[in-house]
């Protein structure tokens, strides 16, 4: 796979395709839908291997019997995003949310809070949400999670743009915004 494959679907669409088990909690059903969505994408790409999923020590999922295909799954309310690549990858999907300065100071690198503070007030929420998805996707790619080094990495883009790609820490970061759904989707793939 030369470029990452990034696909999104609504939970309702996936529910209609794969079903829903009313005996399970919603978050478990969402997890199952994400895995089934992932496998359907891979099968559509012509992949045919044992899709057994295992987890690294800090929880990053991987295919137990195939170390050449990497993936990441994310969900937010009624959307699920899946990213697949031939290197480590992370994806995050989030609805536009209110950017809270206290949260930024707690979880973001000082250079990232400076970046946000230089953003116009009109764009602050978008810049905050985008940066949050960038950081989430990055730690999903590395498998470190937010508890480890979330605030020690400066992943701020050089300038605020709703749709952009750039490189940081040997990762290609691609972030996009859909104004109709108000969804940010960011993918980080190891280069």
Comparing C-alpha atoms, which of 108, 169, 170 is closest to residue 133? 108
CATH architecture label of 93-190: Alpha-Beta Complex (3.90)
pLDDT digits (tens, 9 = 90+) for 5-28: 999 999 999 999 999 999 999 999
pLDDT digits (tens, 9 = 90+) for 126-158: 999 999 999 999 999 998 876 667 788 899 999
Radius of gyration of the chain (CA): 17
pLDDT digits (tens, 9 = 90+) for 53-97: 999 988 899 999 999 999 999 999 999 999 999 999 999 999 999
The confidence score (pLDDT) of residue 39 equals: 98
pLDDT at 3 over 90: no
| pTM higher than 0.75 | yes
SS3 of 28, please? helix
Q: Where in the chain is the domain with CATH 3.90.470.20?
A: 93-190
Sign of CA dihedral 140, 157, 77, 150: positive
The confidence score (pLDDT) of residue 148 equals: 61
Give the whole-angstrom CA distance, residue 9 versus residue 78: 9
């Amino acid at each position: 796979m030369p470029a990452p494959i990034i696909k999104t679907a609504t939970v309702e669409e996936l529910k209609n395709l794969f079903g829903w088990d009313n005996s399970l909690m919603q978050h478990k059903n969402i997890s199952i839908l994400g895995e089934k969505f992932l496998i359907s994408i891979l099968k559509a790409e012509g992949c045919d291997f044992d899709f057994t999923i295992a987890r690294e020590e800090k929880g990053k999922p991987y295919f137990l019997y195939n170390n050449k295909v990497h993936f990441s799954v994310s969900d937010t309310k009624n959307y699920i995003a899946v990213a697949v690549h031939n290197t480590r990858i992370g994806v995050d999907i989030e609805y536009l949310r209110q950017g809270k300065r206290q949260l930024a100071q707690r979880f973001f690198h000082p250079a990232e809070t400076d970046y946000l503070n230089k953003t116009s007030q009109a764009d602050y929420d978008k810049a905050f949400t985008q940066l949050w998805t960038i950081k989430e996707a990055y730690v999903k790619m590395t498998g470190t999670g937010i508890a480890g080094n979330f605030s020690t990495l400066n992943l701020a883009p050089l300038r605020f743009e709703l749709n952009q790609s750039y490189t940081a820490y040997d990762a290609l970061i691609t972030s996009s915004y859909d104004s109709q759904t108000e969804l940010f989707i960011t993918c980080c793939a190891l280069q």
